[in-house]
Structure 1
Amino acid sequence: MYYIGIDLGTSAVKLLLVREDGGIENTVSKAYPVEYPHPGWSQQDPRVWWDAVRAGVRELIAGRDAALVRGIGCGGQMHGLVVLDADDAVIRPCILWNDGRTEAEVAYLNEEIGRDRISSLTGNIAFAGFTAPKLLWMRAHEPGEFARIAKIMLPKDYLSYQLTGVHATDFSDASGTLLLDVEHRRWSTEMLDICGVSEKQMPALLDGADAIGTVDPNVARQLGLPPGVTVAAGAGDNAAAAVGCGAVASGSCNISLGTSGTVFIPSDSFRVDAQNALHSFDYIEGRFHLMGCILSAASCSGWFLGDILRSEDFDAQERPVDPSRVSSDLPYFLPYLMGERSPHNDTSARGAFIGLRADTPRSDMVRAVREGVAFAIRDCVDVARAEGIEIRRSTLCGGGARSALMRQILASVLDIDLDLLQTEQGPGYGAAALAMVACKDQRDVQTCARDIARIKETVSPDPELTGAYEQRYRIWRQLYPALRPIYREMGESHEG
């Protein structure tokens, strides 16, 4: 049997054809553009996603027995605001997860409504990327379009709607809207009222391994699929990636280094950290998770090595770096290219190199970029550790994990073992696993994850590097507080 996993990313959609034993039969990727209409804004037309998926599915199953396809699961970018009118037509481009236009709306929610009140309603405070501030922004700046909203959806759920005709989401993705009462798994009536919308405009809530329905017969014919293919509710990208990496049970952890970077910590019980620096979200099958999210991870290397150095061979750029040479006088890098979410919640933060000298070689700047991402991940891990959560090892996934230099730096900075998977295909792989459960071909998600997620290699911290990085991290973590007033002044000057 085959299961299709869809990973709706920021720059491309990746589709996987997965066998029942967890093996990958085929993969297809379809790229699409991101619109940046103003500095700090990012958006996409959801119809572009569906066009890419339609073409991708046909290519994915070409030359194979399509009758063996049993289920489809979608994982994908979270927090995006997809709004449909009464005819289910897209009203405006989706405002993406890394869009920073909602600074005023975030301040209104956290300062006027109040952080404590917002946290009591949702388990979280407002961040610029979340969906609720985007609704407030749309109500203030696009009132005509706001009045036309009949359905509010998340990016991956737009794909599920196109497949099934059903408006539904899963608890993990809904958690990132700031409209969900995470602890009790229901839409928060008060938060909906604050944003000027109603529950009838929201999608139905399901567990990620629940079946939404089956692919519409007309759509199935267009895609070349057999009738009756089950569509799972799926999960937000980080929850789906954690499933695919086997990080399901309480006590596990998954770190993802994609465009953004995340630390994902499953839990059997609902909890909120003292500062609301981490996200308190639902997971699957009644579980919860804490998650730290940095907005720029692998994208930092893409920017520096690709855009600035004009290199397509990242390995060649990293080869001159001596990983054992770690000292406090090497340059530092702050990875806040799109502002920052965890733990600073600061849309005005920016990237920075600190400590450059006339004799600084390119290799030291390459190292600094990798270290800056590792230190930002460490910020999130330390918040969890301050809550008494022990993190002694973690699975590691995402494009940034392909760098041997990054893996060694991260293991030593965090002082934990990092497990790499034999099959690491991110959210799409976890989405396919959820489809297996939705089809009742696996008993539950934890069993399925255990069956398909197999470790191929473990990267352990170097004790000497861990000590040296402790000193560098101590200096690095002083840089953002020192620059914060300057960031704010830069932002005010830009607005003026």
Structure 2
Amino acid sequence: MKNKILAIDLGTQSVRAALVTPTGQIEAVALVNHEVDSPHDNWAQQSPVEWWMKVQQVVKELLSKSKIICDEIAAVACCGQMHGPTGIDSDGNVTTLMSQLWCDKRNQDIVEQVRSSHNLENLMKITANPPTTGWVGMKVKWEKENRLDVYNRSKWFLVPKDYVNFKLTGIAATDPSEGSGTYLWDCEREQYSEEMAKLLDIDVSKFPPVFKSYEIIGKVTKEASEKTEIPEGTPVVAGGGDFVVSLLGLGLVEPGTAIDMTGTSTLFVFQKQKPIIHPSVQNLHHVLDGWIPFIMLDSGGLSMKWMKDVIDVATEEKITFEKLISLAESIPPGSDGLIFYPYLLGERNPDNSGAKGIFLNLTVNHTAAHMARAVIEGVVLALAREIQNFRDLGVPFKKVILTGGATRNKLLNTLKANIWNVNVTVTDEPESSLQGAGLLGALGVGLIDSISKIPTSGKNVIINPEAELVEKYKHIAKMFNRFYNHMIGYWM
């Protein structure tokens, strides 16, 4: 009986595959790691050829370890790291050996040119987004200006999961979550905008047709079947961007809940029927209906890793994250006046790319433990500053679900409740993107008969804010924001 979905997640640090039931249960998982290549400052790239090899490897490993009968696979559903364009020529071959990733900022000059030459308010009315380095259209514009031969030879520009789908089916397609991340997307008409393509001077026909995320785009070809061992003819749905798909796995199918996703970076997201048009807010289309407004801190979890690495070098002792947290917990709330600004990778939202990391109020009385706590507090304070924008815009949320690798940091979880003054729920679902992809596949082939019947994941620990600490952190947040505003004119 065909009752399993083969879910694939092509992430930045790994490629994962899982077998998922129609109720969202993961039965088996396989993983293969890969690296990011950074040959120059602000560059981040990977090989699309290697992506496809890793997909073959991880799928074969999954099917072998699970001992599944391949006839049980009802569909394939892919998700993946977003916004990185791979050029494909008319013969189906890649036009460049390395693809720009979502975090690549080599196109900063192009973004600045758009910002300085156009009415941003009018552009946001079309795209629902401020111009940033992350959008696919900005990256394709860089290809045209710097590698014209690559641009001209490319019939399609496909983001990572769409490239995998192309290799599986031979069909170029995308979905609304990725379409809305091109900076060529008309948020009202929900289609590509000729006006935005003309503004960027790129050919909109190089971007693939858009399907619903759960819509079948094609079937596994004979060649792909031989390489992956997925049965020929297996339906493949369009899928979606990894972070948007993971929200489905976490149960974000209706408004009223916010989700914090902290790994290397931090995303704070909502669901609304319409996008929030604001310079500090980015918007992506949900893989179902509606929109996902979000804010992003590029160096959320990264700031904590940086602090750990600094202490490693200073003490010549390899410390764990558990030790870092223990050091931080030995210091009182507020870090005895020490404040950290976690902008180690600049800032994307708003596009204050020149922002830098800062320790404020550092004295001889502060120790490594103070610095550890200040870093963790600083990540939450930086997010609080942006979350206030949502509150000022009247966006209601009753609770925040915490997910991502950083949820193992209990101090961080508690700080989020107290600094944001909101109830937080720590989820126990470590594979929400694979789970969400599986649900899209199940919906696409009719194993789930309606969107309303998509199950939501279970949650576990609930943390409530403490009134005394809420008041203390309110005063610290005011100082954080005041100095941030002062520094905007000095960061370069």
Same fold (TM over 0.5): yes
Cross-structure match for 1:174: 179
- Number of aligned positions between the proteins: 483
Match of 2:312 among 296, 309, 312: 309
How far apart, in 1, do the equivalents of 2:423 and 2:331 lie?
18
1:93-137 CA distance string (max 9 Å, x none)? 221111222222112212212212321321212012212222222
C-alpha distance 241-379 of structure 1, shift in aligned 2 (>3 A): farther
Corresponding residue of 1:357: 363
Shift of 1:169: 0.9
Q: 1:166 to 1:360 in 2, by over 3 A?
A: same
Distance 1:399 1:228 in 2: 36
Q: Is the 8 A contact 2:219 2:236 kept in 1?
A: yes
Letter matched to residue 392 of structure 2: A
CA distance in 1, matches of 2:54, 2:141: 30
Preserved contact between residue 398 and residue 426 of structure 1 (Cα < 8 Å): no
Counterpart selection for 1:25 from 19, 27, 33: 27
* TM-score, length basis structure 1: 0.92
Equivalent residue runs for 1:69-108 within 5 Å = 69-92=73-96, 93-108=98-113
Matched, 1:232 2:237: yes
Report what 2:458 is aligned to. Answer: 454
Where structure 1 has 5 or more consecutive residues not aligned to the other structure, the ranges are 489-496
Q: Decide whether the 8 Å contact of 1:109 with 1:118 is kept in 2.
A: no
Give ranges in structure 2 of 5+ residues lacking alignment.
none
TM-score norm. by structure 2 comes to 0.92
1:145-160 pair list within 5 angstroms: 145-160=150-165
Aligned equivalents of 2:330, 2:284: Cα separation in 1: 36
Quick check: 419-428 or 43-52, which moved more?
419-428
CA distance in 2, matches of 1:415, 1:59: 45
* Deviations, residues 407-453 of structure 1 (Å, cap 9, x unaligned): 11112111112223342313222112111111211123442133xx1
Which structure 2 residues correspond to residues 188-203 of structure 1 after superposition, within 5 A? 188-203=193-208
Summarize the alignment of residues 467-478 of structure 1 with structure 2, pairs less than 5 Å apart: 467-478=471-482
Counterpart of 2:45 in structure 1: which amino acid? Answer: Q
Given that residues 110 and 118 in structure 1 are in contact (C-alpha distance below 8 angstroms), is that contact kept between their aligned partners in structure 2? no
In the alignment, which residue of structure 2 is the partner of 1:290?
Answer: 293
Instruction: Using the TM superposition, give the Cα deviation of residue 298 of structure 1 relative to its aligned residue in structure 2, in angstroms.
Output: 1.7
> C-alpha displacement at 1:82, in angstroms?
1.8
CA distance in structure 1 between the partners assigned to 2:413 and 2:130 by the alignment: 31
Cα distance per residue 1:130-155 (max 9 Å; x no partner): 12222222222222322222111112
- Secondary structure in 1 matching 2:55: helix
Identify which of 381, 387, 394 aligns with 1:381: 387
Contact 1:81 1:96 in 2 (8 A): yes
Q: Aligned to 1:284, what secondary structure does the other structure show?
A: coil
- The structure-2 alpha-carbon separation of the partners of 1:308 and 1:223, relative to structure 1 and needing over 3 Å to count, comes to farther
Letter in 2 for 1:368: A
* Structure 2 residue aligned with 1:493: none
Q: CA-to-partner distance for each residue in 1:33-59, whole Å, 9 max, x for gaps?
A: 111121122111122222111111111
Check conservation: 1:331, 1:353, Cα contact below 8 A: yes
Compare 404-413 and 197-206 and name the one that shifted more.
197-206
Take 1:264 and 1:277, find their aligned partners in 2: how far apart are those partners? 13
Aligned to 1:401, the other structure's residue is in SS state: helix
| Counterpart Cα distance in 1 of 2:336 and 2:409 | 24
In the aligned structure 2, how far is the partner of 1:424 from the partner of 1:459?
19
Distance 1:361 1:258, change over 3 A: same
Q: Which amino acid aligns with 1:43?
A: Q
What CA RMSD, in Å, does the superposition of the two structures yield over aligned residues? 2.0
With 293-302 and 239-248 compared, the bigger mean Cα shift is at 293-302
Going from structure 1 to structure 2, the CA distance change for 1:15 and 1:364 (only over 3 Å counts) comes to farther
- Determine if the alignment matches structure 1 residue 46 to structure 2 residue 48: yes
